[in-house]
Structure 1
Amino acid sequence: MAQLSPLERWVLTLLGTIGFFAIWQGVAASGLVSHNALPTPAEVLATAWQLSFEPFAGHTLLQHLAASLGRFAMGFGLAALVGVPLGLAMGRWRLLDDIVSPIFEMLRFVAPLAWVPFAALWFGTGIGGPVMVIFAGALPPCLINAYRGAKLVEPRIVEAAQVLGASGPRIMAEVLLPGSLPSIVAGLRVSAGLAWQSLIGAELIVASAGIGYVMVQAQSNLAPSIVMAGMLAVGVIGLALDVALRRTETLVKARWGQA
């Protein structure tokens, strides 16, 4: 099958987006679904624009988004700072792998939202609760991909570094990290998506500000257009994060000759 040009991809993307909103408009305007359950796209966009300037649930939509992005940055950053070095170290030292793997393999199957009750008990509605839930969702891809990347580094390269006198931390920083970088960036992309989803879920329960909190308050006030405006904002921010990390992944793979 012939490869599509960048222009053809953009056209198909545009047609798909137009088709989605056309179907949404048609269903909302048909009367098959109550207007209280499904507002039209124009109403949702108008509501999103209005919320950008008029406070709802204590803040404007942009301020709620800023609060959500702050929590996301802390939880995702903490997961990367813990998961990547730990994954590289587990790939390097078998003893550490044997110690950590059983616990990690058990905990990584616990859904991030299962930590919400503990987050609420330990942190209340403060910033710690959502950050904890985000960390739980974002950590596994960071650790697993760093571990796999370290395992793919040629052993003879590590041995050569040891012969030249490189210590354990230096081998990790100058051999394993560069050799694992494509795998690490791919893991960060997956991790960011899970972190963003975990954030919204946490904010539905343990937050007093943020886009998830907006959606809960809108549901309580029977305001579906605000709920969907929040969902639209979540989708747009998530797409932007994925596009940025996808571009980074492509650049890293091209740099390391894996494109």
Structure 2
Amino acid sequence: MIAYRQPLPLGRSLLLGMAGTLAFLGLWAGLARSGLVLHMFLPGPLEVAERFAVLVTTPFAGGTLLAHLASSVLRFLSGFLLAAFVGIPLGLMMGWSRLIDDIVTPIFDALRFIAPIAWVPFAALWFGTGVGGPLLIIFAGAFPPCLINAYRGARYVDRRLIEAAAMLGTPGHRVITEVMLPAALPSIVAGLRISAGLGWQSLVGAELIVASTGVGYMMVQAQGAVSTTTVMVGMAAIGLIGVAIDLGLRLVEARIRAHLGQA
């Protein structure tokens, strides 16, 4: 018998989260002060925070931290939205039509197992350090979850609703948009959360190699300058933006589930 975990009260959950964060920072600070790792390779959290504040206003590798973040977020949104606009409709159509499913599935199954980072050499050959390279790599990471969750959501739609719509002479595109899409929406939003995480990770990998701006590019330049604090600032910024993206999508998911529960 499976025992389901009961959610903790919000206050207690926040306290536990703060305790875990403080414990991590304490362990980091203790290790940095212990001398077990050279200081140039492991600065303390206060030094990283100070460097973070400096980089917000002082340019490094061609721009401030905020400018690099803006470049990264813009690339991410371009690739992520493209993946959503292609993957969600295609997944719904595959769930609706066996013919489309049979045509697309073999190609999709072959491509989705290629890691996004494996597209980097191909993207560099095609696009160099232009916008197309990172866009391709982000798309490669974000596209599969969009399609898979839209497809699964469409497959779990009550077939009687689809049959009733077909009996009433509803055109295929309206069946998809007015019957399948609303029913599959929770699964689609869950897929977007996964897609956003993979797309953001793919972006950073792309910027390490095929970009001339962005947080990943800033980190590569910091590595060459042996500026560990700057590298760690980039890592912290990547994590914070990732958390913000996921939190936004979680709020959207909660609103959709609440709305469907009231309907």
What TM-score do the two structures reach when normalised by structure 2?
0.96
In structure 2, what is the equivalent of residue 70 of structure 1? 74
- What displacement does 1:197 show? 0.1
Alignment of 1:166-185 (within 5 A): 166-185=170-189
User: CA separation in 1, counterparts of 2:151 and 2:8?
Assistant: 35
**1:1-259 map, 5 Å:** 3-257=7-261
- DSSP-derived class of the 1:52 partner: helix
**Runs of 4+ displaced beyond 4 Å:** none
Q: State the Cα deviation string for residues 158-188 of structure 1 (Å, max 9, x = none).
A: 1111122210111111001001000000000
Moved more, 20-29 or 2-11: 2-11
CA distance in 1 between partners of 2:175 and 2:11 (Å): 44
Moved more, 29-38 or 248-257: 248-257
In 2, the alpha carbon distance for the partners of 1:4 and 1:102 equals 43
Where does structure 2 lack aligned partners over 5 or more consecutive residues? none
For 1:95, the aligned partner's letter is L
When the two chains are superposed, the root-mean-square deviation of aligned CA atoms in Å is: 1.1
Write the distance in 1 (CA, Å) between the matches of 2:52 and 2:119. 31
Superposed CA deviations along residues 182-236 of structure 1, whole A, max 9, x for unmatched, are: 0000000000000000000000000000000000000001000000000000000
Please give the secondary structure, in 1, of the residue aligned with 2:258. helix
**Secondary structure, aligned partner of 2:261:** coil
- Once residues 65 and 3 of structure 1 are traced to their aligned partners in structure 2, the CA distance between those partners, rounded to angstroms, is 34
Q: Percent identity?
A: 59
**Secondary structure, aligned partner of 1:71:** helix
The 10-residue stretch of structure 1 (152-161 or 78-87) with the greater mean CA deviation from structure 2: 152-161
Number of aligned positions between the proteins:
258
1:257 partner SS: helix
SS across alignment from 1:116: helix
What is the CA distance between 1:246 and its match in structure 2? 1.2
Amino acid at match of 1:119: A
Amino acid at match of 1:8: R
Change (3 A) 1:13 1:140: same
- Superimposed CA distance per residue, residues 232-253 of structure 1 (whole angstroms, 9 cap, x where no aligned partner): 0000000111111111112212
* CA spacing shift, 1:54–1:153, aligned 2, 3 Å: same
CA distance in 2, matches of 1:197, 1:217: 19
Deviation, 1:2, is: 6.2
The residue type equivalent to 1:50 in the other structure is V
